[in-house]
Structure formats: C-alpha cells, structure tokens
Amino acid sequence: MSSSKGDEFERWIVEQYAASNGFTALILLLTLGGDKVELISCSYVHVIGDEVRWKDMKTMLDASRRKWDAFAIFPESPPGGGPLIDLVAKARLQERIDEVTVSRMVLNNAGFFDTRGRHIRIDPVDLH
C-alpha cells in the first residue's frame, strides 16, 4: 500500500532537517527508462526549515520544464549543521554528479523519489 502523495518525501525532509538543523539539498533530476537512468538537470537549494511540502517541491522541479521521472537529494551540511556556503555547495554538487556518472547505484544513498514523492531505489542490472 503506498502512502498519500508526497508523505514519504515530507517525512524524509523532516528527518534530515532534525539531524542537521538545516542543510543544502543537492538535487539531481532524472529520467528512468528500461535499464537506463539519465541525469537531465541538477541544482541545489538551502533547506532552512522542515516545512518543505511535496506540492512545493514538485512545483519547483516541474519549473525546469523538463520531463522527469525521479529525483535524488543528497543532504549536505558543514560540521555543526546548517547549509553549505555556495562555493562548497557547487563543488559538492559536481562531486555527486561525478559519483552518479560512475555508478548509478549511488542514487540509493540519497533521498531518491519518484514523481509522486515516494521513495524508490534502483537495483543492479544483470547483463548475463
């Protein structure tokens, strides 16, 4: 039984915020198809409260005007919590892009959600 639209995403945001007292969300927008996961866009936002609602997140992602099937959020904070400074956020975003480019399995280490705000994961493809 799946949860209401966005419940899983909203719970995840609250948990991440509680653990960090604010963070920077490194966001990768993705398409899924067959055995392919393609990165189509990326950005970051500073999360300074736990009141981020699924409706607002989806509106922000849809504003990219790209067709997307999933997104991953890597929460990042400096020691002591809070959001990263922009220079560090940009560098960490590039690191995550590089990691995901090498192995899509890294997405499972993020908050990884579908278009309805439900947690998803990817599994290795058996090529034999």
Query: Per residue in 34-65, pLDDT tens?
Result: 888 999 999 999 999 888 899 999 999 999 99
- Residue 124 placed within a domain: no
Domain that residue 47 falls in: 7-114
- Residue 128 placed within a domain: no
- Residue 121 placed within a domain: no
Amino acid 4: pLDDT: 63
Amino acid 93: pLDDT: 98
pTM comes to 0.91
Distance CA 80, CA 64 (A): 32
Amino acid 128: pLDDT: 62
Distance CA 30, CA 122 (A): 12
Which residue positions in the chain have pLDDT lower than 50? 1-2
- Residue 125 placed within a domain: no
Distance CA 10, CA 16 (A): 10
- Residue 19 placed within a domain: yes
Distance CA 128, CA 119 (A): 28
- Residue 123 placed within a domain: no
- Phi, psi at residue 88, to the nearest 5°? -70, -40
- How many distinct structural domains can be found in the chain? 1
- Residue 127 placed within a domain: no
- Residue 103 placed within a domain: yes
Distance CA 48, CA 39 (A): 26
Share of the chain above pLDDT 70, in %: 95
